[in-house]
Structure 1
Amino acid sequence: MTYLKPLFRHPKLPKNKLGYTLKEYEGSISTLCAGCGHDSISATIVQACYELDIEPHLVAKISGIGCSSKTPAYFLGNSHGFNSVHGRMPSVATGANMANKNLVYFGVSGDGDTASIGMGQFVHAIRRNLNMVYIVMNNGCYGLTKGQDSATADLGSKSKAGSINPFQPVDLASLAVELGATFVAQSFSGDKQQLVPLIKAGIQHKGLAFINVMSPCVTFNNNPGSTKSYDYVREHMQATGTLDFVPEEKPIHAEYEEGTGTAVSLHDGSEMKLHKLAPDWDPEDRVSAANAIQQARLKDEILTGLLYINTEYGDLHDIINTSDTPLNTMKENTLCPGTEKLDTINAGFR
């Protein structure tokens, strides 16, 4: 069996500004279970990068361990990729970003990879505001090890085996807002219309763009009683609003009634146009966002869309004032200026 897709595509497929079709943004054939929500998320990443006219070789995909962490093989096959140790994706992404800040970084993780063994890494990636799109494919179970409850499984949720989860869940979106993430969103793998503009906005956001995506496990966690099943998520979704991503210098076609819309400008001149649906919610007010999430939880609803954004805080390179020239392009005499220069630096600390 081959995992490579055939090279042939219809010669009249639409192309983006680079002259690429979607084919140039695809990866190998998925080995995940048929109907897995993770494959839908991979498709939205492909669509977002295609629509933003991103060169595939200017993208780096970093993942940990788990079903979700297999997905970088299934999108952007012509990009850089690294499948790291369980829960350690943020460290590897940080090192790569420090060496070359000119790439677009995708950190792909799961609820086990982030909410359990990788929790400390998740916290410090947010604290440092690493410039990357951090996507958690959240299915509430450990799909690779036969469906045990993960740390995001809801209290009282029933597994396929019939056991009831006795523990409170880790709410990653709430935690991200509390920790000061500068872009927090939540979505559903079955809602491509919402997820594509969220990913596009996350790519253009300067800093860590965290997107928690409910992605039901069709094999182990799509049963009655599970709060991560397709039916449950569809029935309990409550959107903050509808979102349009408007790239820089392109005309705005969306129209909004007076008093119901808001525009958020990103660092490159792009805009997000928001049409508010959720009451008493301001995407640029951290307290308002936190309250909206908690109010939704009290009503057993899953709040989706853009939850919070802060465009005034710099990314990690701004915070520590790194060189404008990526480290991986510097010559040896710049990186290692010699003992005389080192002696001068040391003398300044005496």
Structure 2
Amino acid sequence: MSYLKPLFSHPKLPKNKLGYTLKEYEGSLSTLCAGCGHDSISAAIVRACFELSIEPHLVAKISGIGCSSKTPTYFLGNSHGFNSVHGRMPSVATGANMANRDLVYFGVSGDGDSASIGMGQFVHVIRRNLNMVYVVMNNGCYGLTKGQDSATADQGSKNKSGSINPFQAIDLASMAIELGASFVAQSFSGDKQQLIPLLKAAIKHPGFAFLNVISPCVTFNNNPGSTKSYDYVREHIDATSAKDLVPGKNEIKIKYEAGMSTQVEMHDGSEIQLNKLALDWDPEDRNSAVNALQKARAKDEILTGLLYANTDWNDLHRTLKTTKTPLNQLKENELCPGIKVLNQVNASFR
């Protein structure tokens, strides 16, 4: 079996501003189970990058281990990619980002990869506000090892073997907000009308952008009793808002009430337009976002949409005052300032 897609494409396929078709943003054929929600997320990433006219070679995809971490093979085949160790994707992404801030960084992870073995790394990449898009493909189970409950499996949820999960779930979206993530959103793999604009907004966000995407495992966690199944999620979704990304526009800003619209401006001038549907919820208020999540959880609802955005927080490069030039482009005279400067440095330690 070949994992490569055929080279033939229709000559009249739509093109973006760069003259690329959607095909230039695709990857190899997926080897995941038919109907896997992860493939829908990959397709949404392809569409988001295509619509934003991002150069594929200016994207870096980094993942850990798991079904979710296989997906970078299935999108943006002309981009940089690194499949790292289980739970260690954030540190690899940090190193790459520090060396070259000019790339768009996609960190792809799973609920086991981030909420268990990678929890420590997840926490610290948030507090440093690394400029990246961090996507968790959350199915509540370990799909590669026959469907055991993961740390995000809801208490009382039934897995395929019939076992009831006795433990409370780790809520990654709430945790991200509590830890200071500057952009937090939640979506469902089967809702591309919501997921694609969220991904576009996350790419444009100047800092750490976290997306927790419920992505049902059709093989091990799509059974009656599972709170991560297609049927359960569709019946319990409560959307915060509908969104559009408005690149590079200067929009009039207004105060708004429930049922009205507002824009959250990004540093580069792009804006997320929000149609506010929920009472007592403000995407720019951290406490309001946490409260909205907790209220939804108490009602067994899955709150989706943009939950929180903070555009005033410095990303890691601004915090550390790093060079704007990628390290591989620095010249010898910049890397080695000379004996005079070295003597001054040595003298400062005496």
Q: TM-score, normalised by structure 2?
A: 0.97
- Which residue identity lines up with residue 346 of structure 1 in the other structure? N
In structure 2, the gaps of 5 or more residues are none
1:95-130 deviation line (CA, Å, top 9, x unaligned): 000000000000000000000000010000000000
Number of equivalenced pairs: 347
Between the aligned partners of 1:342 and 1:289, the Cα distance in structure 2 is: 50
- Cα distance, 1:249–1:277 mapped onto 2, change above 3 Å: closer
Partner SS state of residue 176, structure 2: helix
Between the aligned partners of 2:336 and 2:66, the Cα distance in structure 1 is: 39
- 2:104 alignment counterpart: 104
Contact 2:59–2:79 (CA under 8 A) maintained in structure 1: yes
Structure 1 position 333, deviation (Å)? 3.3
- 1:33 alignment counterpart: 33
- 1:264 alignment counterpart: 264
- Which residue identity lines up with residue 169 of structure 2 in the other structure? P
Between the aligned partners of 1:250 and 1:65, the Cα distance in structure 2 is: 42
- Cα distance, 1:257–1:117 mapped onto 2, change above 3 Å: closer
- 1:143 alignment counterpart: 143
1:299-333 deviation line (CA, Å, top 9, x unaligned): 00000000000001111001111112122211233
- 1:203 alignment counterpart: 203
- 1:122 alignment counterpart: 122
- Which residue identity lines up with residue 102 of structure 2 in the other structure? N
- 1:295 alignment counterpart: 295
- 1:9 alignment counterpart: 9
Between the aligned partners of 1:258 and 1:288, the Cα distance in structure 2 is: 14
Between the aligned partners of 1:169 and 1:349, the Cα distance in structure 2 is: 50
- Cα distance, 1:245–1:220 mapped onto 2, change above 3 Å: same
Q: For structure 1, which segment, 208-217 or 330-339, has the greater mean C-alpha deviation from structure 2 after superposition?
A: 330-339
- 1:70 alignment counterpart: 70
- 2:21 alignment counterpart: 21
- Which residue identity lines up with residue 124 of structure 1 in the other structure? H
Partner SS state of residue 200, structure 1: helix
In structure 1, the gaps of 5 or more residues are none
Between the aligned partners of 1:50 and 1:229, the Cα distance in structure 2 is: 29
- 2:286 alignment counterpart: 286
Instruction: Give the share of equivalent positions with the same residue, in percent.
Output: 79
Between the aligned partners of 1:305 and 1:258, the Cα distance in structure 2 is: 15
State the Cα RMSD in Å: 1.5
Between the aligned partners of 1:290 and 1:349, the Cα distance in structure 2 is: 47
Contact 2:109–2:134 (CA under 8 A) maintained in structure 1: yes
- Cα distance, 1:241–1:172 mapped onto 2, change above 3 Å: same
- Which residue identity lines up with residue 277 of structure 2 in the other structure? L
1:108-158 deviation line (CA, Å, top 9, x unaligned): 000000000000100000000000000000000000000000000000110
Between the aligned partners of 1:347 and 1:20, the Cα distance in structure 2 is: 55
Between the aligned partners of 2:324 and 2:238, the Cα distance in structure 1 is: 42
